[in-house]
Amino acid sequence: MKLFMKVFIVLNLFFIFNGLMTISRAGAEGELIVRFSYAPEKIRQGDIWKIYLSVTDPEGHMHQVVCRVEQNGESYHKPSLIFLKKGMEKQFTGHFAVYTQSFYELNDFVLELNILDREGNVRKTLRFPLEFDQSSEPMKPLPADIEKDLNRRIGIIDIDWVLGGV
């Protein structure tokens, strides 16, 4: 158990100091609390991009996540909707998966996740930039013994890709 804690602490410090992870403190009443967020900023085309999140809503009103992609400062894609499963209204921990194409040149983009309540109000917006770099290492999942809940898939973000040169 001591080894697990040491590895967990070292990985968290690495992510925090390299700006790859954010940890939030409790916010104002009714505000969503992002306890953990991480997504690599560079992957290879054809890799599965995983966006890891742990979010808490003290009021228990989270209902869906609307995902938008921006390329070149504009949104060319229809939004992808992910409805949270029953029991995730108050808290969810896991990852969203984006399947990238390997056979076309893709533009870099920014993924925007909007967490909505049942009335359709945006409760929290998170943005994750992504750059395609064929020389980068393949994305590796988080070790299962570090945080098994983060390795649980919440949903797949469906993107109609805009090819390079747009």
- Is 86 domain-assigned? yes
- Is 163 domain-assigned? no
- Is 148 domain-assigned? yes
Its pTM stands at 0.74
What would the mean pLDDT of 96-122 be, rounded to a whole number? 89
Domain count, the chain: 1
CATH assignment of the domain containing 41: 2.60.40.10
- Is 165 domain-assigned? no
Question: Three-class SS string for the chain?
Answer: CHHHHHHHHHHHHHHHHCCCCECCCCCCCCCCEEEEEECCCEECCCCEEEEEEEEECCCCCEEEEEEEEEECCEECCCCEEEECCCCCCCEEEEEEEEECCCCCCECCEEEEEEEEECCCCEEEEEEEEEEECCCCCCCCCCCCCCCHHHHCEEEEECCCCCECCC
> What is the pLDDT, as a whole number, of residue 54?
93
Dihedral (CA of 132, 137, 143, 144) sign:
positive
State how far the Cα of 125 lies from the Cα of 28, in Å rounded to an integer: 16
- Is 43 domain-assigned? yes
> What is the pLDDT, as a whole number, of residue 136?
83
> What is the pLDDT, as a whole number, of residue 24?
41
State how far the Cα of 67 lies from the Cα of 7, in Å rounded to an integer: 32
- Is 162 domain-assigned? no
Q: What is the pLDDT of residues 66-82, one digit of tens each?
A: 999 888 766 667 889 99
Domain span including residue 67: 2-157
Which range has highest mean pLDDT (55-64, 77-86, 93-102, 137-146)?
55-64
Quick one: what percent of the chain has pLDDT higher than 90? Answer: 46
Which range has highest mean pLDDT (25-39, 81-95, 124-138)?
81-95
Which residues have a Cβ under 8 Å from the Cβ of 50 and sit 6 or more positions away? 39, 95, 96, 97, 98, 139, 141
- Is 98 domain-assigned? yes
To which residue do tokens 């998966």 refer?
Answer: 97
- Is 117 domain-assigned? yes
> What is the pLDDT, as a whole number, of residue 163?
58
